[in-house]
Amino acid sequence: MGGERFRDRREAGRVLASLLAGAAGDDLVVLGLPRGGVPVAWEVARALGAPLDVVVVRKLGVPGREELAMGAVASGGVLVVNDDVTAGLRLGDAELRRAARAAIAAVEEREARYRAGRPALDLRDRRALLVDDGLATGATMRAAVGAVARAGAAAVIVAVPVGAAEVCARLRAEVDDLVCARTPSPFRAVGAWYRDFEPTSDEEVRALLARPPAEAP
């Protein structure tokens, strides 16, 4: 399924929220993946009357080819390895461990900066709705899924405005539910399906987290 491009992440969040109305409930927590997933998640949380938090994920780039993900780490030290990439490039465990250690430290620092002293929301026995601005390879989202499962979430739901159909299909088998508003073919890239895909800044993430969506007009 294709469709028109989204104007920006905020519009994408409103479109996604319209597909998630049935997920509303007192036990729901919406979690955005910084940075680009947070404006989308804020709109979803506002529409569903749910609290908003973040799950920080950092891609592990292949040394010398940083755009190629050999895996990802997420809040709580969760590591997801892209076996196809590591096997194809014959990357050793030592290289992966070095990259993971540095990435975990960066995740912890960024998490503290975004929350500005606010504690993380307690996910135990609650439904965690993970939101990003798109799903391309699935590596970062899989790391986020592992993080919220480790935190004790009763159920994990993934929602994105746009994604590669085959990636959405694989990830659907790993979570309790998955909602993808559009699965265009050919997919190309997440940014191809937004008219405005300017990078989200750390300042915008902090501002959105400081403004409870459930209380916004």
Per-residue confidence of the chain (217 residues) as pLDDT tens digits? Answer: 456 899 999 999 999 999 999 999 999 999 999 999 999 999 999 999 999 999 998 877 666 665 566 778 888 878 777 666 556 566 667 767 777 788 888 888 998 899 888 888 999 999 999 999 999 988 889 989 999 998 999 999 999 999 999 999 999 999 999 999 999 999 989 999 999 999 999 999 999 999 878 666 5
CA distance 29 to 111: 17
Contact predicate 159/135, CB 8 Å: no
* Backbone dihedral region for residue 60 (phi beyond 0: left; psi -120 to 50: alpha; all else: beta): beta
CA distance 45 to 215: 10
Place of tokens 């409930």: 25
Contact predicate 25/191, CB 8 Å: no
pTM: 0.87
Burial 178-208 (b: 16+ CB within 10 A, else e): bbbbbbbeebeebbebbeebeebeeebbbeb
